[in-house]
């Protein structure tokens, strides 16, 4: 899921790395009557900020919703809606800026922020932001007179403040009916959503008087209108950019060469592109470690990663923590079985499977798997998924494929109707991975693989009791425990580049809204 769970975000969560803003000609901003059109590869689905976790939805919501803090280009945490804060591993207190208003002109209150925290923290709301932007067991209280919000948690949250930047804050009216926010907005961001045409385009119009962006950024020089245009084909998106109909697009395929020749602005980050998640719920063949070992060993992951990334990807070194992340150890090397089809077959035999004709059986049941993959993320991913199917078929595994897109990946994984999923997660902080690999399963949580890994749980408990980087050794050990047991297998990363013509911006896995500028070229 170049799903940002972002967290998505961001793939399921959204991908959110950092890149410094480059030069792209003189700034033309400030007119307020210009429009920037950004191509997106797929419809974002619901834009409800309390549930949206796919990449495009998270990226778009940043234009309408602010968070308490932000991250600057160096990785430092800087003020957003909150002007200051204090924190421990079990509590945080935020003091809001004065003068922050919602898009209807009403003042944002501490009670509004507390309500957002408590909404996500309430298990009845099944928000995927629980554990990403809000610590599990969190409870928030507010003092509107002093503009302070206090959040406590009975479970340690070592990155209490840092994770709050993944919680978009809706205003009171919006939170009263969050489902209505699927196609509207009600936030404090620099833009408001004015038009939503699913499958085609989404239009955001700049708000007047915005002055509380990252570290106090204002909207004075922002374009007057931003349109997100659904363009599924990368070549078409590049054609539109070169013609001037689109100003920005994420391009990962060979068409990037045309943009580089046109001297387009380019800002990017490196994300996990290839990652296999296994369904370990009862009744699935992948619940058995020998089957997982055989399925992984039968794949030439280097070749598959080469196809998926167009030859420019690098081996994955972690589960999807995006630089600059606090913990930087390599948790993948040496923990994934090497490609060896003969050994894969032997693993099945040792586990009691019998080769019968061109397949395998055990207790009268054939070895069949359902493989979900992101079918709308470009032909390279499709080709890589087809290669994986060919290699599993050569082993004797019967494979049924299931294509997913950004709007359906979460519901598909939550349905349980899969055995293996190509579903990369990209997050900012190591503890944001825990909801995906521990805790409640759907529909009460996002442990889609029904994973129960005692070594992972033990290391997470030790890491969570230490603030920030002090827990990195155990965070790395926790990730390694998942990979060693083949609960999840990351195998290739990919540089994700956002190109611009006639615009410039800062990019941290998505365009930072307050950095967007029209330029003279």
Q: What percent of the chain has pLDDT over 70?
A: 93
Rounded to 10 degrees, what is the CA torsion of 417, 444, 277, 484?
-140
Question: With contact defined as beta carbons under 8 Å apart, do 420 and 295 qualify?
Answer: yes
Q: Per-domain residue ranges for the chain?
A: 271-496
Q: Check: CATH 3.10.105.10 for 271-496?
A: yes
Asked if 56 and 69 touch (Cβ cutoff 8 Å), the reply is no
What's the rounded Cα separation, in Å, for the pair 299 and 306? Answer: 13
- pTM for the structure as a whole: 0.72
pLDDT in tens, the chain (521 residues): 333 333 333 333 332 222 222 223 333 333 344 999 999 999 999 999 999 878 899 999 999 999 999 988 877 889 999 999 999 999 999 999 999 999 999 999 999 999 999 999 999 998 989 888 999 899 999 999 999 999 999 988 999 999 999 899 999 999 999 889 999 999 999 999 999 999 999 999 999 999 999 988 999 999 999 999 999 999 999 999 999 999 999 998 889 899 999 999 999 888 899 999 999 999 999 999 999 999 999 999 999 999 999 898 999 999 998 877 888 899 999 999 999 999 999 999 999 999 988 999 999 999 999 999 998 777 899 999 999 999 999 999 999 999 998 778 889 999 999 999 999 998 888 988 988 999 899 998 889 999 999 999 999 999 998 988 899 999 999 999 999 999 999 999 988 899 999 999 999 889 999 999 999 76
For tokens 């920005």, the residue is 248
Q: What are phi and psi of 113, to 5 degrees?
A: -65, -45
Other CB atoms within a 10 A radius of the CB of residue 500 amount to 27
Helix (H) or strand (E) holding 361: strand 359-362
Q: Helices 379-395 and 301-309 sit at what angle, rounded to 10 degrees?
A: 160
Q: Are 54 and 407 in contact (CB under 8 A)?
A: yes
**Which parts of 323-427 fold into alpha helices (H)?**
341-350, 379-395, 409-415
User: What single-letter DSSP state applies at residue 430?
Assistant: G
Cα distance between residue 456 and residue 461, in whole Å: 9
Look at the block and give the residue holding tokens 């990946």. Answer: 409
CA distances from 213 to 67, 92, 133, 248, 297 (A): 9, 21, 18, 22, 48
Phi (first) and psi of residue 327, to 5 degrees: -115, 125
* Residue 482: closest CA among 446, 436, 442, 444: 436
């Amino acid at each position: 899921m170049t799903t940002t769970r972002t967290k998505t975000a961001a793939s399921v969560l959204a991908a959110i790395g950092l890149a410094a803003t480059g030069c792209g000609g003189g700034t033309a901003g400030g007119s307020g009557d210009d429009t920037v059109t950004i191509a997106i590869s797929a419809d974002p689905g619901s834009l409800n900020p309390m549930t949206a976790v796919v990449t495009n939805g998270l990226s778009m919501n940043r234009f309408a919703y602010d968070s308490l803090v932000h991250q600057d280009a160096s990785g430092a945490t800087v003020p957003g809606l909150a002007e200051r804060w204090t924190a421990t591993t079990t509590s945080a207190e935020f003091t809001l800026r004065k003068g922050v208003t919602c898009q209807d002109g009403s003042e944002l209150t501490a009670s509004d922020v507390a309500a957002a925290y408590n909404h996500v923290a309430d298990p009845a709301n099944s928000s995927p932001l629980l554990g990403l932007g809000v610590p599990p067991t969190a409870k928030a209280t507010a003092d509107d007179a002093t503009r302070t919000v206090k959040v406590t948690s009975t479970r340690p949250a070592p990155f209490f403040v840092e994770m709050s930047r993944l919680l978009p804050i809706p205003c009171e009216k919006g939170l009263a009916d969050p489902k209505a926010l699927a196609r509207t907005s009600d936030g404090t961001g620099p833009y408001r959503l004015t038009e939503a045409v699913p499958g085609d385009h989404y239009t955001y119009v700049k708000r007047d008087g915005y002055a509380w962006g990252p570290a106090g950024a204002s909207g004075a020089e922002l374009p007057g209108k931003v349109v997100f245009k659904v363009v599924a084909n990368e070549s078409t998106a590049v054609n539109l950019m070169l013609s001037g109909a689109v100003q920005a697009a994420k391009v990962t395929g060979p068409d990037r060469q045309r943009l580089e020749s046109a001297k387009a602005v380019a800002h990017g980050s490196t994300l996990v592109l290839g990652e296999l998640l296994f369904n370990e719920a009862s009744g699935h063949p992948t619940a058995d470690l020998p089957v997982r070992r055989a399925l992984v060993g039968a794949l030439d992951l280097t070749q598959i990663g080469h196809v998926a990334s167009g030859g420019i990807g690098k081996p994955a070194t972690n589960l999807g923590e995006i630089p600059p992340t606090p913990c930087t150890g390599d948790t993948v090397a040496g923990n994934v079985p090497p490609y060896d089809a003969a050994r894969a077959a032997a693993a099945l035999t040792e586990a009691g499977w019998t080769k019968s004709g061109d397949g395998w059986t055990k207790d009268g049941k054939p070895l069949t798997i359902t493989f979900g993959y992101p079918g709308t993320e470009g032909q390279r991913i499709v080709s890589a998924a087809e290669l994986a199917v060919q290699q599993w078929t050569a082993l004797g595994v019967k494979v049924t494929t299931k294509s997913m897109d950004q709007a359906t990946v979460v519901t598909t994984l939550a349905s349980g109707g899969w055995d293996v999923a190509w579903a990369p997660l990209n997050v900012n902080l190591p503890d944001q991975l825990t909801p995906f690999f521990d805790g409640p399963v759907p529909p009460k949580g996002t442990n889609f693989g029904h994973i129960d890994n005692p070594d992972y749980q033990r290391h997470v408990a030790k890491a969570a009791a230490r603030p920030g980087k002090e827990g990195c050794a155990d965070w790395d050990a926790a990730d390694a425990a998942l990979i060693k047991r083949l609960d999840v297998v990351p195998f290739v990363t990919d540089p994700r580049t956002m190109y611009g013509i006639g615009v410039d911006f800062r990019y941290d896995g998505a365009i930072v809204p307050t950095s967007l500028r029209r330029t003279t070229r």
